[in-house]
């Protein structure tokens, strides 16, 4: 009797963007750390359901300094990124952080600083070589695009699918033959609010 090599993983993140979810508005000293005290924190750190991009809002001109964001990525590996500050505006990390343990100013912020997350999300389906065989997606209230990427959340997009945009409507797809091959790991990026839950089938 044959045995299928197909596995399944379910991903869900319905936490809306929160501009001060990591650190509420406050003055930050020269080369000092932001206090992680926003609504998303627990015990001084933030753990997201999936990888999320970090936003940093500067009230003054912080374009001449940077902020170091430290945490882990969707694989659970250490992730540190230097993000150049904005001039009375918001900057966004390029990396997707599963956890955030610290954000530190490198320089002297000109005014109050706030940190949070936007609505861009990413997660890992499988770290190694894998074949996407199908998926089942429960749509959120608006339509959006899911991108399947090779190697990392910022890697090459090999496959895309669009959600229906009707809340709680399910989209099922089976990919024939060997499926879509991801040689260096299979990752997914999407916008929170367009998806309630995703189940991926891979081998």
The model's pLDDT over 81-109, given as tens digits with 9 standing for 90+, comes to 999 999 999 999 999 999 999 999 999 99
Q: Where do the structural domains in the chain lie, given as residue ranges?
A: 7-12+123-202, 18-119
CA distance 112 to 95: 24
Domain 7-12+123-202 has CATH 2.60.120: yes
Measuring CA to CA, how many Å separate 178 from each of 19, 20, 134? 42, 44, 11
Provide the Cα torsion 114, 117, 119, 122; round to 10°.
160
Contact 71, 34 (CB under 8 A): no
Each residue of 33-81: pLDDT tens digit?
999 999 999 999 999 999 999 999 999 999 999 999 999 999 999 999 9
Are the folds of 7-12+123-202 and 18-119 the same?
A: yes
- Name the more confident of 201 and 3: 201
Beta-sheet strands, E only, within 66-129: 66-72, 78-84, 90-92, 97-106, 113-126
Each residue of 159-181: pLDDT tens digit?
999 998 899 999 999 999 999 99
CA geometry: angle 85, 86, 92, nearest 5 deg: 70
| pLDDT exceeds 60 at position 1 | no
Q: Which CATH number fits domain 18-119: 2.60.120, 3.30.70, 2.30.30, 1.10.246?
A: 2.60.120
Q: For residue 2, name the pLDDT band (cuts at 50, 70, 90).
A: low
Averaged confidence pLDDT in the chain = 96
Q: For residue 4, name the pLDDT band (cuts at 50, 70, 90).
A: confident
| pLDDT exceeds 70 at position 193 | yes
This prediction has a pTM of 0.94
Strand partners, 149: 157, 187
Across the chain, which distance is largest between two alpha carbons, in Å? 69
CA distance 135 to 150: 17
Instruction: Summarize the confidence of residues 130-140 as an average pLDDT.
Output: 96
């Amino acid at each position: 009797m044959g045995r299928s090599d197909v596995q399944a993983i379910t991903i869900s993140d319905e936490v809306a963007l929160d501009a001060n979810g990591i650190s509420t508005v406050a003055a930050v000293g020269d080369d000092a750390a932001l206090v992680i005290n926003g609504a998303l924190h627990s015990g001084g750190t933030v753990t997201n359901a999936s990888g999320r991009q970090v936003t940093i809002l500067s009230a003054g001109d912080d374009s001449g300094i940077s902020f170091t964001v430290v945490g882990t990525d969707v694989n659970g590996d250490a992730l540190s990124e230097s993000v150049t500050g904005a001039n009375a505006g918001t900057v966004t990390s390029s990396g997707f952080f599963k956890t955030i343990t610290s954000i530190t100013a490198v320089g002297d912020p000109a005014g109050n600083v706030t940190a949070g997350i936007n609505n861009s999300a990413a997660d890992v389906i499988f770290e190694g070589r894998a074949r996407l065989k199908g998926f089942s997606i429960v749509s959120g209230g608006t339509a959006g695009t899911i991108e399947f990427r090779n190697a990392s959340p910022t890697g090459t997009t090999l496959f895309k699918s669009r959600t229906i945009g009707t809340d709680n409507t399910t989209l099922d797809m089976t990919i024939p033959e060997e499926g879509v091959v991801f040689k260096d790991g299979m990752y997914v990026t999407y916008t929170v609010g367009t998806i309630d839950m995703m189940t991926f089938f891979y081998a």
